[in-house]
Amino acid sequence: MVTTTPDRATSDDALRTPSVLAVLVVRNGLPWLRECLQSLAAQTHPRLGVLAVDNASIDGSADALERALGSGRVLRLSEDRGLAGAVRAALDVPVAQGADYLLILHDDTALAPEAVARMVEAAEGIHGVERVGVVGPKVVDWEQPRVLREVGRSTDRFGHPYTPLQDGELDQGQYDRVLEVLYVSSCAMLVSRATWQRTGFLDERFAGRHDDLDFCWRARVAGFRVLMTPLAQARHLGAGAKGERREPARRRGNQYYAERAALAAMLKNYSALSLAWLLPLHVLFGIIRLAYLSLSRRFEDAYELLAAWTWNLIHLPSTIRRRVRAQSVRSTGDRSVRRFMESAWFRVPRWFQTAERLLEEQLEEEREQVPIRTRAASLAVEHPALVTWAVAILVGALAYRELVGPGALEGGALATFPTQAGAFFRELVSAVRTTGLGGTEAASPALAPLGILSSLPFAGPALGQKILLAALPPLAGLAMYRSIRRQTGQAVAASIGAVAYVLCAVTFWAFSEGRIDLLVALAVLPAVADRLERAFGADRPTSRWRAAVGLGMPVAVGVLFLPGVVPALVPLLAVYVIAGRRRLRGSLVAVGGLAVAVALAFPLVPTWIDAPGTSFSSVIGSVDFGRLARLAPGGGPGTWVVAWFLPVAAIVAFSLLGPGDRARGWRAVTVGVVGMFLAWFASAGYLPAALTDAPAYLAVAAVGAATVVGYGLAAVGTGIARQAFGYRQIAAGVLAAVLALGFAGQALAAIVGGWEIGRSALPSAWPVVQGSPGSFRILWIGRADGARFPAPGGDPQGVVEAGLASLRFAITGRDGISALDIGRGPSGPGYAYVDRTLGELLSGQTSHAGALLAPLGVRFLVAEEGDLPRSADERLRAQVDLDLVPAGGLVIFQNARVLPPAFLTGSGPFARAAAGSDLRQVASIPPPTTFALAQTAEGLRVPDQEGIAYLAQQYDPGWRARSDRIAIRPELAFGWALAFSDAAGATISFTRQWVRTLEIAVLAILWIAVLWVTRRPAST
Amino acid sequence: MRARGQLLSAVLVVALVVAGGVYLQDGIGPRSFAAPPLPEAPSGAWFCPHGGGTDWEVTIEVANPGPTPVRVRVTRLGSGKPSSPDVLTVAPDTELQLPAPAGERGSSTMVEYFGGWVAAGWVAHAGGGEGGVAAEPCLSGGGRRWLVPDGTAEENQDDYVVVMNPFAAEAVFTLTLYTTRRPAPITPGDWTNVVLRPHRSEAFRLNPKALGESTVSTLIDVKVGRVATSSLGVSGLGGIRSSVGIEGPPPTTSILPGGFDQGATDLVVMDPTEEAASVQALLLSKDTSQAVPSLVESSTNPGSAATYPVTTEGPSALVVRSPAGVAVARRSLGVTSDQGSTSGTGTPGQAWVILPAVAGPPTHPGLVLANPGTEPVEVTLSYLPAAEGPVPSPVTVQVPAGRVLGPPRSFLEAKPFSAILAVAPGGTFVPAAASYSLGREGYATYAVSLGVPIPEAWIPR
C-alpha cells in the first residue's frame, strides 16, 4: 500500500463542488435500511443525490425506499441482477451519467456524516495525487465500530484477495493515513465518471462476489489510482456473509468465488507477457493445492477449486472479450499494478512475524537474564509443535542428505520402482500379474496412490519414491502426535511421544531399509489405535457408523501396503476387547471397521482366504529377544543400544500414570509387551504362517510404547509441581533423562546416516545379473535366518526346511523386487513348485536343479556371499546345470537349462513332462529347441508351427489361445503353469479382464464413498 | 498408596518381560527345521574323461544296483560340438555297456542319470597301432582344483592329462607340472589360463613340457568354471593306463588297491605343497601288512613329484598316509607290457559296484577286496549282469583286518563282463578290479579300476 499525504483543497477548487450520485443497491435489506438511509441523509457533502435500486426484494424494502426517497428515486428491478446489474440499471438514468462521481453503496452500510465529502476530497483534493479513480472509506464493524473490517485490500500475484487486517483487529489509528491500495470494497466505493466511462463498470458475471477486485484492477490498468481514506468512515454489516439477509442459500463457498474471481481477473487484467509466466505458475500451484486438499480429505474445498476453474473455462470466450476491452484502455504496465500486490507467498511473512515475535520473547528473557536452559524449556513448552518441527526439519535434512540427488534410490529392501508412473496404474487394472510367477492375483490398490504420486508434475517414480521415504516418518510422528494430543489434550506430551515414535528402532530400521510398506503401517497404526481407544473408551463417538468407517479406512490403507497389519491388529483388538471400557460398543465399531477395511480391499480378499499363510506372513525377524525388546527387527542405524530408550521410557512413564490414565495405560503397555513377545514367536517360527510378521508386531509394540510415554508425560504435566517431592518427581527426572539421551543418540544416528538405501547401494556384482539379456526370473536364496536378501532381492517369500541346509527364498523378475508387488504376497501353485524344487535340491539327491527350475524361467540363483549354509552351498555347487558365475559380493549360479518365459517347442519330452508334475520327468528333459512367442497388441502370438506353446505363468482357466474362431483352452503344465497344444498361429490372451475392470470400478466407488464419509469439513 | 501400586505394576511388567525373554531365548530357542524332504527326482551325472585315439574302442559301463529302472542320457564330448545325447534305461540290478566313439586323445563322455542311482566307468581299448586296456570309474562331479599324480615323460611314453568341461559355462584353468628332477614346478605359458569352451574336452600332452622326466604330476587350477580330469598314459611298448584326477584337497589317507601284476608297482607321490612331506605307506597283501621299505625314512621335496617302487604279489593294497595336500597314485605293470593305474580312494565304504576292467575275451578277471580296518569284514558279492543268461548265486567272503583278498575265481569267471555288487553290512572295505583280457591267453592287456562307492541312500538293503 502506498501512503499519501492528505492536503486541503485550495479555495478556488472549493468553488466547484463535484456532484455525487449515491447508488444504493438494496436486496431484502429492510432491517438495516433505515440506518443506511439516515446516514445518507446526514451527509455533509452539498451536491449529493441518491438513487436506490431495489434488486427484487421480497421483504418490503422497495416500499420503504419509496416512502423515504419518493418513487422517482427508486428503481425497482423485476429480478435480482446483483450489484453489477443494479449499477448498470442506475447508469441508464441520465442523472447518473451526468454525475461527477458515483457512490456505490450496499444497503447494509452506514456512512459517517462526512464520509462522502471526505472521499470526494481524497479524490480531488490531495496535492500531487492525480487521476484518482476510486476511493473507499475505512470500514468498521456495524455493531462494534472499534473493530476494523476494511482498510483497502490487496491480492497475491494470482489474484487471491488479501487483507492486512487480522480477525477482530481493533482500530487504534494504525491505518489512519490515506492509503493507495489495489482495491477497495464495493460496500462503499466512490467512482469517478472518467473511470467508469473508460473502463466500464462492474463485471456482472461475478454476481457481486469480488467484482470490486476486478473493477479496481481494471481502473489501475487504465491509469487511475485507488485510495482508501480513513477520514471517511463507514459501518458495514456484511449481512450476506453473516446469513442475515433473506436470500436463497448460497450454493458455493467463499473459496469458490475467490478462486473464480482471481483467475478471471488475472486473465482479463494482466498483460500477455505477465500471463505467460504467471498462468503456468498458477496452474502448478493450483495442482499442488488440489493434491493437498485431496490428501487432507478436504474434498469440498478441492471441488470448489475445480468448479472455479471450470467456470473460467466455460466463460473463457466472454473473459477474452472483456480482456480485449480492458487491455484497450491500458495506460500503465503491470509492474505499477504489482506494487500494490502482496508476494505470492504472502503467508511466509506471517511466519516470519511469528518467528520475530518468538525472537523478541527470547531477547526479552535474555535481557532479564533468564538461564538459557529455562528459556529453551519455556520455548519448547509454549510452542512444542513448532520446536519439534524445527528440530525435525534440521535433523531430517541432515539424515536425508545422502538420499538427495538424481536417480532412483536402491538398496536395502527397497522395492524397485518402475521407470514410468503409468506402470502402477497398468498393474492395478490388469487382470494378469506381471511380477513374480504371474497369475491372476489382483494388485494391491496401494498402487493407485503410488501411481498418483509418481504422476505429479516434475515428479517421476524416482522422485515419488524419495518423497514417500522422506514424508512417511514425519507422517508417522504426526499421526502419533494427533493420537496422544486427542487423548491427553497436551501438546508437549504429544510432541515428545511423537518424537519417541519416530526415533524408535523399528521406524529407523524401516527407513534405513526403504520399507515403504512398513513406514505406511507405522503411519496408520497410531490412528488405528487411537480410533480403537475412542471406540472402546469412555467418550461417546458422534456416530458409530462414522467411527467404523473412520477405523476401517486407516486399517485398509495399512493392510493394502502391508498385509502384515492384519496379524498385528490381533493383539491390538484382543487387548481392547478384553480390557476396553465399552466393550460392546467398541466391538461393534471394530467389527464394522474391519468390514469396511475388507470392503476397501475386496479384490485381495480371495487371495487372503486362499493363501493366508503367504498373504500375511513375513519371515523377516530376529530371535534375539534383546534386539526385539528394543523394537529392532534387524540391524542398521538407530537399532543400537540407545534404542532401548523407548521401552525404558515407556515403563518409567507407565509408573507415573495417575488413576485416570491407568486403564488406558495398561492397555497400551499390554499392546507393547504382547507385540514384543509375538514378534519373537513369529521370528522363532512358532506362529502359524498367517500370523507371522515380526516387524508388524514390533510396529504395534512401538505404538503402545510411544503412547504410554505420551500418557506418562501428560500425567507429569498435570500437577506434579504441586505434589510433595517423592517417587513421581524422581521418576519424572529419570524419564526426562532417558528421553533426552534417547533423542540425542537417535538424532545423532540419523545425522550420521549410513542407511542401507542410497543412490548406489546395489552389490558390485549385480551388473552380472542385470546385464544378462532377455526376460528371466531370479531365485534369491540364503540361510533361513530371518534376514532380507541383498538388494534388490527384497524379503524372503518362504522357507524350505531341510535341517541345517534350510533356505529362505524369493523369486523375482530381472530387476529384483518390484514396487508393483507392494501389498501382494507370493501365492499360487507356482510357489509350491519352487518349494518342491528347492526341497529336491536340498535333499542332496539331485544334480539337475537347473532343469527343475527351467520351467520357472529362473536364469540366476543369487545369494549373498557367506549367506548359504555349507551343505546347501555344496549341493548347489554339485549341480550339473548350475554354473557358478565369478562375482564379488554375491554368489551367483547361472542356470544352464533356463527356458524363456513364453515359447513354442516341438520337443516330445518337454510336452510329456509338462503334462504332469513328475519332477523326475522334468529333470530329464533334454534342452528343447524353442521359438519365442511374439508380443502383439492382442496378446502373445504363437508361431505357425506344430508343438506346445508354454507360458511360465501361473495357471488360470481364463486364458485362451484363439485362432480362426477356435478358442483353445489352456492345460495345466508342470502342475502350475500354462500350456496350449495345437495352438499354431493362435494368439494367447486372458479373457477375463472385464472382471478386474469391474472390480476396480466398484473399488473406486467404495473408496470415494468412504473418503466422503470421513472428509474434513470445508473451510469457511 | 496408589502411586506405589503403579510402581509395583511397572516393576511387574519389567519382570515379566525380562523373565519371559530369558526363558524364550535360552529355554526354548527358535523352532528347529524339519529334515530335508524325501527326494522325488533323484538324479546325478558321471564325467568320464577317458581319452581316446585312432581306432580306439571305449565302452561306457553303467550299472544299476537299485530296485527301479534308471534313465541315463549319454553325451560324448570332444574338441567339437557335443554329440546328440543317447537316452537309455538301465533296468534294476543290471549293467549296461555302451560303446563310446573316442577318436581324439581328449575324448570324454558325460553320463547323466535320472530316477535313481547308477555307477559308471569306462574301459578303453587302444587301437590304431596302440595297444592295451585302461579302465576307471567315472567322476561324480566337476571341480576347481585337480591333482593328477600319475604321469611320465620318459622315452616310449606319451602321457596326457584329459580335461573335460561338460558344463554350460566356459572353464579357465592353468596346468602346473611337478617332476622329480626340476627344482620348481613348471607352468608353461600356453597352459596358463587355458580357456575350455562349454561342452568340450581336450587332452594336454605332458612330454614336450617335461621331456625325459620319469614322474610328471599335474595340478589343474581352475579359475572359472569347473572341469573333470584324468591321466592317460600311452606306452610305445603297447599299453595304456589311466587314472582319474583327485579333486583337491586330496585325502591324507589313500587306499590304493590293485594286484595280479608282475610284481612291480610304482607309488607316485605328488607334493605341490611348499614344505617337505614325510609319506608313509603300508602294503596290505593276502597274508601280511608291512611298511613299504622304499618310503621309510624318506621325505618328498616340496613342489615335486616322485615315484617309489613297491614289490607286490597277488592282490594287494597300498595304504598311504601323507600330509595335507599330497596326492598319490598307484601304477602297476601287468604281466605283459600293459599298465594299470589308480588314484585310489580316501574312504572305505560299505557297498560298492565294481565295474569290469576287461575289454574282450579271453579274460582273466581279477577282484581285490582290501580291508584297511582293524576288524574283519564280511563281503557279499553278487552280479549286476550285463547280458542275459544264468547268474551265479551271490557269494560271501570274509576279509581279515588289514588284509587283502581275492574272491573265488569261479565266481569271477562266471560273468567276466558284468559288474559286481559288493556289500559289507557290518563293515567297510575298498574293492578294485584288476583284470587281464584279450590276446591268445587272455593276458594281453591289463587294467586296474577302483570300485564305485554306493551313496548311503542307495545301498541295497
Whether the CB-CB separation of B380 and B394 falls below 8 Å is answered with: yes
Distances from the Cα of A245 to the Cαs of A74, A110, A240, B66, B115, in angstroms?
Answer: 20, 16, 5, 102, 93
Cβ contact, residue pair A629, B43, below 8 Å:
no
- For A345, counting Cβ atoms within 10 Å of its Cβ (0-12 exposed, 13-18 middle, 19+ buried), the class is exposed
d(CA A864, CA A889): 7
Query: Is B264 at the interface with chain A, CB within 8 A?
Result: no
Spell out which residues of chain A touch residue B85, defining contact as CB-CB under 8 Å. 926
Cβ contact, residue pair A843, B37, below 8 Å:
yes
- Indicate the residue of B28, B40, B166 with minimum beta-carbon distance to A920: B40
DSSP 8-class letter at B297: T
Please check the confidence at residue A254 and state whether its pLDDT lies above 50: yes
- Indicate the residue of B9, B13, B45 with minimum beta-carbon distance to A880: B45
DSSP 8-class letter at A771: T
A994 SS3 class: helix
Mean pLDDT of A635-647: 95
Question: Can you give the pLDDT at residue B402?
Answer: 94
Element of type H or E holding B33 = none
Question: Can you give the pLDDT at residue A1002?
Answer: 97
- pLDDT band for position A11 (50/70/90)? very low
Mean pLDDT of A806-831: 94
Mean pLDDT of B400-429: 93
- pLDDT band for position A541 (50/70/90)? low
Spell out which residues of chain B touch residue A729, defining contact as CB-CB under 8 Å. none
Can you give the three-state secondary structure of B356-403, one letter per residue? CCCCCCCEECCEEEEECCCCCEEEEEEEECCCCCCCCCCEEEEECCCE
Please check the confidence at residue A456 and state whether its pLDDT lies above 80: no
Residues 296-335 of B with CB under 8 A from A: none
- pLDDT band for position A1 (50/70/90)? very low
CA distance A881 to chain B (A): 7
Question: Can you give the pLDDT at residue B108?
Answer: 97
**pLDDT tens digits, one per residue of A821-838:** 999 989 899 999 999 999
Chain A interface, best mutation among B1, B2, B13, by max A CB count within 10 A:
B13
Interhelix angle A516-536/A544-561, rounded to 10 degrees, is: 160
Supply φ then ψ for residue A741, to 5 degrees: -65, -45
Question: Can you give the pLDDT at residue A525?
Answer: 97
CA distance B391 to chain A (A): 31
Sign of the Cα pseudo-torsion (A843, A848, A851, A853, in order): positive
d(CA A355, CA A372): 18
- Indicate the residue of A805, A848, A918 with minimum beta-carbon distance to B36: A805
Question: Which of A81-85, A125-129, A631-635 is the most confident on average?
Answer: A631-635
Taking the model in full, what pTM does it have? Answer: 0.84
Whether the CB-CB separation of B118 and B63 falls below 8 Å is answered with: yes
Nearest to A535 by CA among A623, A435, A664, A637: A664
d(CA B247, CA A169): 93
Whether the CB-CB separation of B49 and B196 falls below 8 Å is answered with: no
Spell out which residues of chain B touch residue A801, defining contact as CB-CB under 8 Å. 33-37
Please check the confidence at residue A698 and state whether its pLDDT lies above 70: yes
Question: Can you give the pLDDT at residue A660?
Answer: 83
- Compute the mean pLDDT over every residue in chain B, rounded to the nearest whole number: 93
Question: Can you give the pLDDT at residue A682?
Answer: 95
CB hemisphere CA count around A342 (13 angstroms) = 19
Question: Can you give the pLDDT at residue B450?
Answer: 96
- Indicate the residue of B7, B30, B71 with minimum beta-carbon distance to A685: B30
- Indicate the residue of B43, B169, B457 with minimum beta-carbon distance to A894: B169
d(CA B297, CA A459): 81
d(CA A335, CA A220): 11
**pLDDT tens digits, one per residue of A341-366:** 886 554 554 555 556 666 666 667 66
CB hemisphere CA count around B444 (13 angstroms) = 19
Cell numbers at residue A126, please? 490531495
Cβ contact, residue pair B169, A840, below 8 Å:
no
Residues 13-72 of B with CB under 8 A from A: 13-14, 16-17, 20-22, 24-25, 28-31, 33-45, 71
Largest CA distance in chain B: 112
Q: Quick one: CA torsion of A332, A336, A337, A340, rounded to 10 degrees? A: -160
d(CA B114, CA B117): 7
Cell 435480482 sits on residue: A80
Q: Where do runs of H (alpha helix) occur along A346-441?
A: 347-367, 372-382, 384-399, 422-429
Cβ contact, residue pair B30, A684, below 8 Å:
yes
Whether the CB-CB separation of A88 and A172 falls below 8 Å is answered with: no
- Compute the mean pLDDT over every residue in chain A, rounded to the nearest whole number: 90
Residues 339-398 of B with CB under 8 A from A: none
Nearest to A983 by CA among A901, A918, A902: A902
CA distance B109 to chain A (A): 14
pLDDT over 70, % of chain A: 95
Question: Can you give the pLDDT at residue A6?
Answer: 41
- pLDDT band for position A8 (50/70/90)? very low
Mean pLDDT of A326-332: 92
- Which comes out higher in pLDDT, residue A660 or A445? A445
Residues 217-246 of B with CB under 8 A from A: 223-226
DSSP-derived secondary structure for A54-98: EES-SSSHHHHHHHHH-GGGEEEESS--HHHHHHHHHHTSHHHHH
Spell out which residues of chain B touch residue A806, defining contact as CB-CB under 8 Å. 33
Mean pLDDT of A32-42: 93
Mean pLDDT of A399-413: 87
- Which comes out higher in pLDDT, residue B396 or A8? B396
Whether the CB-CB separation of A185 and A241 falls below 8 Å is answered with: no
Cis check for the bond before B249: say yes or no (omega within 30 of 0).
yes
CA distance A924 to chain B (A): 6
Question: Which of A159-168, A385-394, A859-868, B233-242 is the most confident on average?
Answer: A859-868
Question: Can you give the pLDDT at residue A616?
Answer: 92
Cβ contact, residue pair B167, A652, below 8 Å:
no
Question: Can you give the pLDDT at residue B301?
Answer: 86
d(CA B125, CA B132): 6
Cell numbers at residue A784, please? 533361513
Spell out which residues of chain A touch residue B223, defining contact as CB-CB under 8 Å. 886
* Count of beta carbons in the 10 Å neighbourhood of residue A906: 14
Mean pLDDT of A166-187: 90
d(CA A788, CA A799): 12
Cβ contact, residue pair A654, B9, below 8 Å:
yes
Cβ contact, residue pair B13, A802, below 8 Å:
no
Compute CA B313 distance to the chain's CA centroid, rounded to the nearest angstrom. 23
* Sequence-distant (≥ 6) Cβ neighbours of residue A51 within 8 angstroms: A21, A22, A23, A24, A73, A74, A75, A90, A93, A95, A96
**pLDDT tens digits, one per residue of A948-966:** 999 999 999 999 999 877 8
Spell out which residues of chain A touch residue B168, defining contact as CB-CB under 8 Å. 881, 883, 894, 896-897
Whether the CB-CB separation of A650 and A709 falls below 8 Å is answered with: yes
Please check the confidence at residue B292 and state whether its pLDDT lies above 90: no
Sign of the Cα pseudo-torsion (A682, A684, A687, A692, in order): positive
Interhelix angle A516-536/A461-488, rounded to 10 degrees, is: 20
DSSP-derived secondary structure for B232-271: EEEETTTEEEEEE-EESSPPSEEEEEEE-SSSEEEEEEEE
d(CA A384, CA A493): 9
Supply φ then ψ for residue A996, to 5 degrees: -65, -40
- Indicate the residue of A662, A686, A883 with minimum beta-carbon distance to B6: A662
Q: Each residue of A593-624: b (16+ CB within 10 Å) or e?
A: bbebbbbbbbbbeebbeebbebbbbbbbbbbb
Question: Can you give the pLDDT at residue A679?
Answer: 96
User: By CA distance, what is A660's nearest residue in B?
Assistant: B2
Cβ contact, residue pair B87, A894, below 8 Å:
no
ipTM of predicted assembly, 2 dp? 0.93
Question: Can you give the pLDDT at residue A293?
Answer: 86
- pLDDT band for position A613 (50/70/90)? confident
Please check the confidence at residue A375 and state whether its pLDDT lies above 80: no
Can you give the three-state secondary structure of A124-146, one letter per residue? HCCCCCCCEEEEEEEEEECCCCC
- Which comes out higher in pLDDT, residue B297 or A766? A766
Question: Can you give the pLDDT at residue A238?
Answer: 87
d(CA B420, CA B423): 10
Distances from the Cα of A611 to the Cαs of A504, A614, A781, A832, in angstroms?
Answer: 32, 6, 22, 11
Query: Is B114 at the interface with chain A, CB within 8 A?
Result: yes
End-to-end CA distance of chain A: 27
Question: Can you give the pLDDT at residue A580?
Answer: 87
Cβ contact, residue pair A894, B168, below 8 Å:
yes
Question: Can you give the pLDDT at residue A37?
Answer: 94
- Which comes out higher in pLDDT, residue A682 or A717? A682
